[in-house]
Amino acid sequence: MTRNLGPNQFVVYENTISGTDKVSKEALFELVDQESNTRLLGISAGVLIYNLGENFYDREKTSTSLQENRSELESLNSALDTLGESPKLEKKIYKLSTKIQSLEKKLEYGNGLMRTGNPLVILDSTLTQKTVNNMKGYLVNHGFFEGDVQYQVQTKKKKAFVDFQIEENSLYVLDSVYTRTDNPAIIQLLNSSQNRSLIQAGQPYNQDLIIEERTRIEDLLKNNGFYMFSKSYINYFAYQDTSAKTIKLEQVIQKPTFAERHQVYTLDSILFRINPPSEEFADRQIQEKFREIDFSFYRDRYSAKVLASRILLQKGSPYSRTKAIETQRLLSNLDLFRFVNITFDTLGTSLTAKIFTQPNQKYQLTNQLGVTVTEQLPGPFFSTALRNRNFFRAGEILEFNFRAGLEGVASATGQGVYQSNEVNTSVSVIFPRFLIPFAPRSLQKYGRFNPNSRVQFGFNHTNRPEYTRNAITGLLSYSWATRSNKQVFTINAADLNYIRTPKIQDEFVGILSDLQAQGNNLIWSFLPSFISSISGQTIINFNKYGDFNSRKASLLRVFGESGGTTLNFFNVRNNNEEGIEYANFQWLKGQIDFRRYYPVNQKQTFAYRLNFGVAQPYGVSAGILPYEKYFFAGGGTSIRAWQARRLGPGSYNPGRLPNEEYRFTTEQPAEMILESMLEYRRNLIGYFDLALFIDVGNSWMIGNDPSRPGSDFRFNRFYKELAVGSGIGLRMDFDFLVIRLDLATKAIDPANPEGERWVLDNISFRSPFGVKGQTVFNFGIGYPF
């Protein structure tokens, strides 16, 4: 890596920072201008890739090609000006422009390999001094006015070790904060929000907080009518007391240049206009007035009531920037318009709000034709989706989905691969309001929460060698969000499924019976059944909306479900009718899923997830849950050292085969799950990221299951039954797509007897994959959490 360096050149091998006590060392590291190349086992793969690409890169040739293409583009543009419209010429110009952009990128950053890798970082004293100046500025901005930064470079075998030495000295604190303005309305607003101020007497001086306070004051005033106000009118003056090590901060609100003082602006009128797609329809306008809003619709009549429920601006009220932004967001969420623009015209201190939109395409058709591969046998599929906007002329959206596919599947009752076909179709209507009977005012009352109601009906047909299965589904759901957009609610008021299996092989029934004897109740999924449930969930995003500089991110999902609720109103029992047994289910289910992401710096992130869930059958279901309502542990998004849905429950051991330690051949449903995942993520080079992870968890049955001894949950031993897996992952993050490869190995296996559950030592360099079944490879799209 250093063999081609000149006599006075050194590679930046390591940067260190010493002398910090109160200052954030992480923040100082982000100011280092020359970061050392990322290395793994002493080797920088990024440099190797960059050098490989450099061998195939000809900068002069790229520059010549760029000039030639630019000249050709000028000639084509001149020809287009002469000829006028020419689709063929315009297409050629577009392709040439795209090629020029690619060449410009190649000339600046190198070829694809060079952009994926990283050039060798060679010590530059100018950039080192720039880092020192940046660190000094950081100290001053954070109250260390007397701080200093020096650096020392040690070299060894063409490697440079740079140490930045920080001298913090005294930290200055705010003695007082005083606001100076001759506008009593502004003083009153600032005093009323003093408890929300980000700068308070007694806290350390921090220029970052002062910048945030300027933004807070701007938002405060703009949301209370001061339309023309901006943070450029706010200045700060700091008076330093070197003996007391304090700062007196003066906050000055300057006068505007266009008036004696800042004025409150009031909405005088609100205009809403749906522009036609062309001037051809300019005369097809429909005028309507509702809630003091003047509507002008193009051709198709829209619902003024629905649109008005999304407009938070009110005639006669002071201007509010937040309400204007929220109005734009709520109207955009209707998915009826290509764009939503809001402008304001001023006359004195009066405002005219003008909302301009243009209709989105009424019909949207999406077709997809592809091939799926199962058991190495390709099978074609076709899907189509039709979207009809403003279906009933009140903002409704009609969706129709259809999918048909042929797949090659392995028969469960014998050898060989057979053809399986599946057809799915559904139709749904999304209403931009709550469907609440006898509540005419609910539209205006709840419009600001972006309410939606979905009514959906569907049919699914599956035809396999072993069975034919049909399902009719129905759904009525409501969703809405809080005004801060941090919390989203969904309630499935009615989720109905009617399932019948008109054809099933006796041999397959025997296999299902054997599985039932092993604690797997998949057989109930093939009985004629009516499954109904009421469920609700909320997703809470703890991040500040629009705060892209936040270092932390966290998400909480809370879910609850009551299944078979409608059966409580009838005297229903599992029964036999004409020799056919019908399955009815009743259950309660709850789940809490918490995720948190903590970036250490721009390249490193820690992430963890906690997931807990419980499902309990009751009533007529005779202790049985619908199969899809069980919890399953193991797999690419769970405990990754176990195959998907094969971990647990509890300490249950499904048995062993000769010369094998692990035998997890069947899915293991459970009524409780507890799992936690911790990941360290680091960018390696370009699109490639490294992940190190530890997964802990298991699943259990609530009550005793004689067919699976050790599967029941017990407080005195559940912690001994937590499975532990660890591993390493490689991710390719292309922004629009993340490809994930994880290699995980078992560390603690609860299926083994106590005292024999530590199995990580089964791995050796001679047998890196350990005993068969101990190491699992996972491929996935997207992050595991």
pLDDT at 375 over 50: no
Query: Is the confidence at residue 476, as pLDDT, over 50?
Result: yes
Residue 2's pLDDT is what? Answer: 62
Which tokens go with 24? Answer: 């954030």
The whole-angstrom separation of Cα 254 and Cα 230 is: 10
Encode pLDDT of 654-679 as tens digits: 765 444 454 556 788 999 999 999 99
pLDDT class for 408, splitting at 50, 70, 90?
Answer: low
pLDDT at 377 over 90: no
Determine what percent of the chain is predicted with pLDDT higher than 70: 89
C-alpha to C-alpha distances, 638 to 284, 622, 645, 726, nearest whole angstrom? 57, 29, 9, 12
The tokens for 188 are: 């009153």
CB 37 within 8 A of CB 684: no
Q: Sign of the CA dihedral 306, 311, 312, 318?
A: negative
Helix (H) or strand (E) holding 674: strand 672-685
Mark 576-598 as b/e (b = at least 16 C-beta within 10 Å). eeeeeeebbbbbbbebebbbbbe
Beta strand extents in 204-362 (DSSP E only): 234-241, 246-253, 266-274, 285-290, 293-298, 337-347, 350-359
| Residue type at 94 in one-letter notation | Y
| Predicted local distance difference test score (pLDDT) of residue 302 | 87
pLDDT per position as a tens digit, 144-170: 999 999 999 998 888 889 999 999 999
More confident residue, 674 or 778: 674
CATH 3.10.20.310 in the chain is located at 173-253, 266-359
Compute the distance between CA of residue 309 and CA of residue 30 in angstroms, rounded to an integer: 46
Q: What is the DSSP letter of 318?
A: B
> Which range has the worst mean pLDDT, 68-72, 619-623, 732-736?
619-623
Q: Say if strands 293-298 and 266-274 run parallel, antiparallel, or are unpaired.
A: parallel
> What's the mean per-residue pLDDT of the chain?
86
CATH number of 173-253: 3.10.20.310
The Cα 705–Cα 697 span in angstroms is 20
CA Rg, the chain, in Å? 33
pLDDT in tens, 590-618: 999 999 998 887 778 899 999 999 999 98
Q: How far apart are CA 516 and CA 448, in angstroms?
A: 50
- CA pair distance 491, 376, nearest whole angstrom: 41
d(CA 544, CA 553): 9
Which pTM was predicted?
Answer: 0.78
- Give the confidence band of 557 by pLDDT, cuts at 50, 70, 90: very high
pLDDT at 221 over 90: yes
Of the candidate CATH numbers 3.40.50.1820, 3.40.50.2300, 3.10.20.310, 3.40.50.300, the domain formed by 266-359 belongs to 3.10.20.310
- For the segment 572-597, the average pLDDT, to the nearest whole number, is 73
Phi, psi (rounded to 5 degrees) for 711? -85, -15
DSSP codes of every residue in 469-513: EEEEEEEEEEEEE-TTSSEEEEEEEEEEEEEEEEEE-HHHHHHHH
